[in-house]
Amino acid sequence: MIEAGQKAPGFTLRDQDGKEVSLSDFRGKTVVLVFYPLDFSPVCTDQLSVYQQTLGELDQRGAALVGISVDSAFTHKAFREHLGLTMPLLADFHPKGEVAKSYGVWDEQWGNAGRALVMVGPDGDVTWSYRAASPLEIPGAELILGALE
């Protein structure tokens, strides 16, 4: 997995509305990349619902949060609407998992991203990262907030 101090690999992915979003769009701001396995799975549903509740606090601290999984933009749109999420969800869909692989969070056994958090600072360098020990572990929002301090 990518570690603090490394340059974050650039990417351009489509969001839930089909719009291209690049890591460089966040230059000058801290962004937390939330890699998660799949939309509509029970653990991912709980995880993103928890993060939705902390978006205001993250914004106050100058940080943005972006979800990334191998699901398509269409699935992301339905998932977002179903949960009332406002964070962008990016489709690491084709080539499948390319961004997850570049960040070292790809799970070859299951063919999706592992559950991981990567904080990228305003200069584009990774400032903090965390990978869940199990796909059933939800990395709590307190981990993100603590890493911002």
Q: Catalytic residue among 8, 21, 44, 105, which?
A: 44
Q: Is 45 a known active-site residue?
A: no
* 143: Cβ contacts below 8 Å, ≥ 6 apart: 117, 130
List helix spans (H) across 6-140: 42-53, 55-60, 73-83, 98-102
Rounded (10°) CA dihedral 133, 48, 51, 49: -130
List helix spans (H) across the chain: 42-53, 55-60, 73-83, 98-102, 141-148
- The 3-state DSSP class for residue 77 equals helix
> CA 115, CA 29: separation in Å to the nearest integer?
23
- Catalytic residue numbers read 44
